[in-house]
Chain A
Amino acid sequence: MTGTVTHHRPWPRRMADAPGWERAAARLAAGEGTLLALWGEPDCAHMAILDEGAASPGIEVLSLACPDGRFPSVGRVHAPAIRLERAMRDLFGLEPVGLPDARPWPDHGRWGVAAPLSASPRPAPDEAPAYPFLPVEGEDLHEVPVGPVHAGIIEPGHFRFTCDGETVVRLEERLGYVHKGIEGLMRGAELDRAARLAARTSGDSTVAYGIAFARAAEAALGIEPPPRAVWLRALMAELERLANHLGDVGAICNDASFALMHAHCGILRERVLRAAMTCFGHRLMMDRVVPGGVACNLDAAGIAALRALVAEIGARFPRLADLYDRTASLLDRTVATGIVRPDLARRFGAGGHVGRASGRAFDSRRALGGYPPYDALRFEVPVLEEGDVNARVWIRIREIGQSLALVAQILDRLPDGPVRVPVAPARGEVREGMALAEAFRGEVFAWLRLDAGGRVARCHLRDPSWFQWPLLEAAIEDNIIADFPLCNKSFNCSYSGHDL
């Protein structure tokens, strides 16, 4: 059974047979195309492949029916798929045949149910079997387990370090602690409830998730949000990027014991959040992006507040960047620390500052023609090659400059008009849509199917962290364990976005 599925927008979805699926996996393994997403349904597996180099660049979505609950593993030949397939097995009971890792991923044996999203979930005892970490052999090696509860105010996850003296010879991550079952809660949810769930997948990227979800729903239903709404979305997205990057630059320096940067960046971050509160009524701008447009507007006072914000950060931040660049004790910690090689970033399709600090220029605001209003805005996507903590700091510093310029452009050119159109479900028809939205840490991928009643039948949200967490394991190798917090913060992957 092959052929194109109707009502899947904006890129087509094709049914593949098993050989076609395996050919796609082999192409990924050969570096032709980038794995964008891989997700399950009770009797079906899907993958999205980004093909930027093709004659007609685009995204290809392939689906394989799995009536017997099995599909050929992509992870068998293409490592970036491994954790995604472990999650598909845990959640949907789909067996990736040939997957080299038999261990569970989000399922810690605590749910009281196995394969909760499959057609027939099975009761399972709550007994939390011991998780077998990969064996390590060698003289003089010792293990350091860290987490899930960490020393700082950060999300929970477990890190298992194997060290030779101070040097880390291997890090293995164990995640899934904050798995909330968001995709399960999405099933059968009305669109507005589903949008609120999407907005709480990773709170630091709530605007980006809002945009990804809304755009996927709008694509499915063939709805165009009004121009003013599209521009207000971008305005909020850039404010979110500014707030996060400012927070991160400060926090990275703080992890290198340079508290002054932390204090000053913290002030600028707080200014962004206060401006967001003034303009949009919520410091993180949660639930302001909705399918059909935005649930807020911007008045003259708001515009003035944002212009003042841009002026203040524009005046103060360059000096902080200069301070970073001239503080030898700080650079000593960040330069040549935690290197991600460009070939690894490319292979994993790492987005955001992790990818761009290692030579991968992908930015969904730009790629494949971009999405509105970015196709009408001027901005640069900074790219560096070094791949170290310093490069990840510099990508953020440069992106802060770009976001300030974007906010200014948007304020200058913000179109008038309505900010929301009614979202009429396509009653009686199943519809599917997908979208990318550029969060501060990379692209959020959203895919959904709306049932004939307009409710969400299935929604998959893939955080950029899925393809960044594995690179952190590689980046810390041969670094001293004391540099781990610094490396980790320079990535700033989302636990919640990944665990879902």
Chain B
Amino acid sequence: MPMRKTFLEGLLHRPVTDPPPALDDPELAELGRKLDAAARRRLGRGLAIREVDAGSCNGCELEIHALNNAFHDLERFGLRFVASPRHADVLLVTGPVTKNMREALERTWRATPDPKWVVAAGDCAINGGPFAGSYACVGGVAAVVPVDLHIRGCPPTPTQLLKGLLTLIEAP
């Protein structure tokens, strides 16, 4: 009974999904332009994303998770999370890169086939954020693997994340 009711309601109500975000952020547009147009053509409209927590406080992961909910519905854009770096086009990396995670990040990057892109999400991933200067942190993803796109925020909202990821597949 509750199952049928829940399904029926799902059919009868309008979807909660948000309209696609406007790609109007000048900073992202600038970064997006730098991405190789040829590479973008090769990717087409599909992107397989492997998420790597390289020392995050887990706040960034919560918002990355939210990309999968019915409001943000990441998959309608052809973006999807995959379980292995070997299936991934994009590594989405969070955290200040703790020294204890450095090798795992490097190995994940090496396991990802070319062509590949690295997106550093969250203030920590940019330069260590609040954890910069710690004996235990490298301080930023770019110090370990080459980064193609930074998405700011602590944590970035799902909309900010979506905008950033979409610049990888859509010319702004």
**Contacting residues, chain A, for B100 (C-beta < 8 A):** 106, 108, 110, 176-179
Chain A interface secondary structure, helix, strand, loop or mixed? loop
List A315-349 residues whose CB lies under 8 Å from chain B: 319-320, 322-323, 326-327
> How far is B2's CA from A113's CA once the two chains are assembled, in angstroms?
58
Select one of A184, A203, A267, A326 contacting B62, CB under 8 A.
A203
Using Cβ atoms and an 8 Å threshold, which residues of chain B touch A184? 134-136
Q: Are B70 and A266 in contact (CB under 8 A)?
A: yes
Which residues from 165 to 221 on chain A have a C-beta closer than 8 Å to any C-beta of chain B? 176-182, 184-185, 196-197, 200-204, 206
Quick one: CB contact mask for B39-77 with A, threshold 8 Å, 1 for yes? 000000000000111111111111111101111000000
* Min distance, Cβ A79 to any Cβ of chain B, angstroms: 24
Distance in angstroms between the alpha carbons of A177 and B55 in the assembled complex? 7
Cβ of A310 within 8 Å of any chain B Cβ, yes or no, is: no
In the complex with contacts A149-B108, A155-B53, A326-B2, A197-B130 CB distance below 8 A: yes
A108–B1 CA distance with the chains assembled, in angstroms: 52
Name the A residues within 8 Å of B58 (CB-CB). Answer: 155, 202-204, 494-496
Once bound together, how far apart are the Cα atoms of A417 and B64, in whole Å?
37
Choice from B53, B95, B96, B155 contacting A154 with Cβ under 8 Å: B53
Contact B2 A322 (CB under 8 A): yes
Tell me the nearest residue of chain A to B61, going by C-beta.
A153
Contacts of A206 in B (CB 8 A): 57, 59
**Chain A min CB distance to B73 (Å):** 10
Residue B102, interface by CB 8 Å: yes
**Cβ distance B102 to chain A, nearest Cβ, rounded Å:** 7
**What count of chain A residues pass the 8 Å CB interface test?**
57
Question: In the docked arrangement, what's the CA distance between A415 and B104, Å?
Answer: 50
Indicate the member of B1, B84, B101 with the most A CB atoms within 10 Å: B101
Please tell me if B137 contacts chain A, counting CB pairs below 8 Å: yes
The size class of the interface chain B forms with chain A is: 35 or more
The answer to whether A319 touches B6, judged by C-beta atoms less than 8 angstroms apart, is yes
Is A151's CB within 8 Å of the partner chain B? yes
Do residues A151 and B68 form an inter-chain contact, with CB atoms below 8 A? no
Query: A148-B104, A260-B6 are known contacts. Are A204 and B59 too (CB-CB below 8 A)?
Result: yes
Cα of A270 to Cα of B68 in the assembled complex, Å: 11
Which residues of the partner chain A approach B98 to less than 8 Å between Cβ atoms? 177-180, 499
| A121 to B101 CA separation, bound complex (whole angstroms) | 22
Q: Are B2 and A267 in contact (CB under 8 A)?
A: no
Asked whether any CB of chain B lies closer than 8 Å to the CB of A152, the reply is: yes
Distance between Cα atoms of A106 and B85 in the complex (Å): 26
* Residue in A closest to B105 when the chains form the complex, CB atoms: A149
With A and B bound together, what is the CA distance between A196 and B59 in angstroms? 13
Q: Mark A452-465, 1 if CB is under 8 A from B, else 0.
A: 00000000000000
A263 within 8 A of B: yes
Known: A154-B61, A204-B59, A260-B3. A273 touches B101 (CB 8 A): no
For A111, give its contact among B96, B99, B130 (CB under 8 Å).
B99
Complex: chain A residue closest to B108, CB-CB: A149
Question: How long is the Cα–Cα vector from A246 to B172 in the complex, in angstroms?
Answer: 36
- A121: chain B residues within 8 A (beta carbon): 135
A155 to B52, CA, bound (A): 8
Q: Does A128 contact B (CB under 8 A)?
A: yes
Q: A147-163 vs B: 1/0 string, CB under 8 Å?
A: 01101111110000000
- The answer to whether B99 and A201 touch across the interface, beta carbons within 8 angstroms, is no
CB-based contact B61/A155 at 8 Å: yes
A142 within 8 A of B: no
Please measure, in the bound complex, the distance between the C-alpha atom of A266 and the C-alpha atom of B17, giving whole angstroms: 12
A118 CB to closest chain B CB (Å) equals 12
Residue numbers in B under 8 Å from A326 (CB-CB):
1-3
Contacts of B95 in A (CB 8 A): 178
> Cβ of A307 < 8 Å from any Cβ of B?
no
CB distance from B108 to the nearest CB of A (A): 6
CB contacts (< 8 Å) of B14 on chain A: these are none
CB contact between A180 and one of B61, B84, B137 (< 8 Å): that residue: B137
Listed residue (B3, B6, B102) with the most chain A CB atoms within 10 angstroms of its CB: B6
Whether B69 lies near A266 (C-beta < 8 A) is yes
A83 CB-CB contact with B under 8 Å: no
Q: In this assembly, does B16 line the interface, its C-beta being within 8 Å of a C-beta of chain A?
A: yes
Residues of chain B within 8 A of A269, CB atoms compared: 66, 69
B154 at the interface (CB under 8 A from A): yes
Q: Which residue of B lies closest to A287 (CB)?
A: B154
Whether B62 pairs with A185 at a CB distance below 8 angstroms is no
Q: Most chain-B CB neighbours within 10 Å: which of A178, A196, A286?
A: A178
What are some 9 contacts across the A-B interface (CB < 8 A)? A151-B84, A180-B57, A181-B137, A202-B58, A260-B6, A266-B66, A283-B157, A286-B59, A323-B2
Q: Which A positions have Cβ atoms within 8 angstroms of B?
A: 106, 108, 110-113, 116, 121, 126, 128, 148-149, 151-156, 176-182, 184-185, 196-197, 200-204, 206, 247, 260, 263-264, 266-267, 269-270, 273, 283-284, 286, 319-320, 322-323, 326-327, 494-496, 499
- Given A106-B100, A178-B98, A180-B131, list of 11 further CB < 8 A pairs? A152-B83, A178-B53, A180-B55, A180-B136, A181-B137, A203-B58, A203-B62, A203-B155, A206-B59, A286-B154, A319-B6
Point out residues on B near A: beta carbons under 8 Å. Answer: 1-3, 5-7, 16, 51-66, 68-71, 81, 83-85, 95-96, 98-104, 108, 130-131, 133-137, 154-155, 157
**In the complex, the 6 A-B pairs of residues with the closest C-beta atoms, listed nearest first:** A203-B59, A181-B136, A151-B83, A181-B134, A266-B69, A323-B2
